[in-house]
Amino acid sequence: MSDSTATDAGDGVPHTDTVLPEPLSGAGYDEPSETGTEKGLIVETSEGAQELFPRTQTGPDELRREAGAVLRLPEGVVINADDIDIEVSDDETMIINMGPQHPSTHGVLRLMIELDGETVLRTKPVIGYLHTGMEKTAEELTYVQGPTNVTRMDYLSPLHNELVLSLAVEALLGVEMPPRSDWIRMLLVELNRMSSHLMWMATNGMDHASTSMMIYGFREREMILAFFEKTTGLRMNHNFIRPGGTAADLPDGWEDDVTVICDTVLPRLDEYDELLTGQPLFRQRSEGVGNLSAEEALALSLTGPLLRSTGVPWDLRRAMPYLRYDEVEFDVIVGTFGDNFDRYSIRLNEIRESIRIVRQIVEKMPAGDYRVQDKKVTPPPRGRIDESMEALIHHFKVFTEGFRVPEGEVYVATESPRGELGCYLVSDGSPKPYRMHIRGPSFVNLQALPLMMRGGLLADGVVACSSVDPVMGEVDR
């Protein structure tokens, strides 16, 4: 007791809120006084300027943005900060943190929410808790090693990440891919889309307090992951789609496995319809919640189910076909109202469309090579290594030094379950990328969240966050 009183007395500095806390390693931190610990805690949890500040400390520009007025205003219109919102005064609103360790933020997403009672006024996503510097790491890895890195970005659709990097590298290399490798890739990517959407159905169900849906979604997803394990050796983070083709051919009897998956999942989707789609409680919680307009979606660069839910029929598989998507039949699912229910039904029906595509792939799968027979890119087959010294050297060179990619830059985009997954790749002619930038759809789509949550209830915010379907591994990279 005497210690603490001595500290209080000896402190001398008036304790005000406006004084910035000292750094953690500061001299004052060493003595465990009460005020010191308090200061230390503030330092540990604060991200400074990235945070959401009280209304009084917020400039009009930011207030306008956070109030959801994201669309460009006509020339000459000046926004006055006082006109924007609302009669709320600062002491009636409360800023709370949701996350980063909150189960319904789908990972380490931190939302700072300004609440007036239970109504959400402003939201600011604070991200970066899962940042691992993957774009920097990519510059240190060869093109052969690259897929092991990118596959960990969007961990729910790892094959899409591998695909987009491989397509970018192949575009720079200018190699012509054998048809079978394209079809194998398409099969895996569509199955991955199904597993990703099923996972979303599960977590979205849980956010709607339907825990049985959560179990069902995981059950179906596990079937697909078992097939991935059989094919690639791993349930996730496969490193199977590589520049120049795939790592191996499909296993024997893959047609049967895939057909069983399709035959099992399809009737179960009808069960989901009964469980959720027709359910009055579910509909009341999702219809008309988290609305977006097509204008807003385009302005905010939203893609994937978020954009399609507003009625814009934009799917890169249809609009700018890559692989062999122009040779299969499928429908682009489009919503009308841009609310959570539309996004739910789009994802549900996209599973059906993926099943349709997978069935066509089973019929149309051509024979041939599963990787390009370009000696510069592809290591020699295993059998040759035992016979020939040159093949052994070649194999060694491909996996240690890697292959060289011509100088240039390219942007390749694919349709991942979450939207446009792009890869901007710059090569300086060495075996490592000079710069690799991944355009993560979740990263961009997350910008819609303040708009979707605005004016709604906090409980609806949980559902809105779920319907964006952010994967934090991709948001933070």
Partner 1 sequence: MTTTTDGDATSDAPAPAVSTPRVRRDSAQEILFPTREQYLEVVGGLRDEGFEMCADLCAVDYLTHPGRHLPDGMVPERFEVVVNLLSLSQVRRVRVRVQVPATDAEVATLFDLYPGTEAMEREAYDLLGIVFTGHPDMTRILLPEDWEGHPLRKDYGVGRVPVQFKGAPGPR
- Of 128 and 178, nearer to partner 1 (C-beta) is 128
Phi/psi for 135 (5° steps) reads -70, -35
Q: Is 49 one of the binding residues for partner 1 (CB under 8 A)?
A: yes
Candidate list 19, 20, 41, 71; residue touching partner 1; CB under 8 A? 71
Alpha helices in 208-339 (DSSP H): 211-232, 254-272, 280-286, 294-299, 305-309, 316-319
**Cβ 296 to partner 1 shortest distance, Å:** 9
**Cβ 222 to partner 1 shortest distance, Å:** 32
Candidate list 148, 301, 349, 458; residue touching partner 1; CB under 8 A? 301
What tokens does 167 get? 């397509």
Size, binding site for partner 1 by CB under 8 A:
52
The residue type of 111 is L
CB 377 within 8 A of CB 244: yes
Q: Is 433 one of the binding residues for partner 1 (CB under 8 A)?
A: no
- Of 5 and 80, nearer to partner 1 (C-beta) is 80
Q: Is 405 one of the binding residues for partner 1 (CB under 8 A)?
A: no
- Of 64 and 193, nearer to partner 1 (C-beta) is 64
Candidate list 128, 311, 380, 455; residue touching partner 1; CB under 8 A? 128
Quickly count: other Cβ atoms within 10 Å of residue 78's Cβ: 7
CB 405 within 8 A of CB 431: yes
Cα dihedral 110, 115, 121, 124 in deg (nearest 10) = -10
Q: How far is CA 323 from the centre of its chain?
A: 22
* Segment 260 to 299, residues that bind partner 1, using CB under 8 A: 298-299
Cα–Cα distance between 177 and 373 in angstroms, integer? 9
Candidate list 165, 167, 223, 302; residue touching partner 1; CB under 8 A? 302
Candidate list 140, 255, 271, 390; residue touching partner 1; CB under 8 A? 140
Quickly count: other Cβ atoms within 10 Å of residue 104's Cβ: 16
Beta strands 408-416; 245-246: pairing state: unpaired
- Of 159 and 302, nearer to partner 1 (C-beta) is 302
- Of 70 and 236, nearer to partner 1 (C-beta) is 70
DSSP structure class, residue 275:
I
* Segment 310 to 339, residues that bind partner 1, using CB under 8 A: 312, 314, 319-320
Candidate list 42, 70, 332, 391; residue touching partner 1; CB under 8 A? 70
Quickly count: other Cβ atoms within 10 Å of residue 287's Cβ: 14
Alpha helices in 126-178 (DSSP H): 134-138, 146-150, 158-173
Q: Please give the residue ranges that form the binding site for partner 1 (CB under 8 A).
A: 23, 46-50, 59, 61-62, 64-65, 70-72, 127-128, 131, 133, 135-136, 140, 298-303, 312, 314, 319-320, 407-411, 413, 420, 422, 424, 426, 428, 434-435, 437, 439, 443-444, 446-447, 476-477
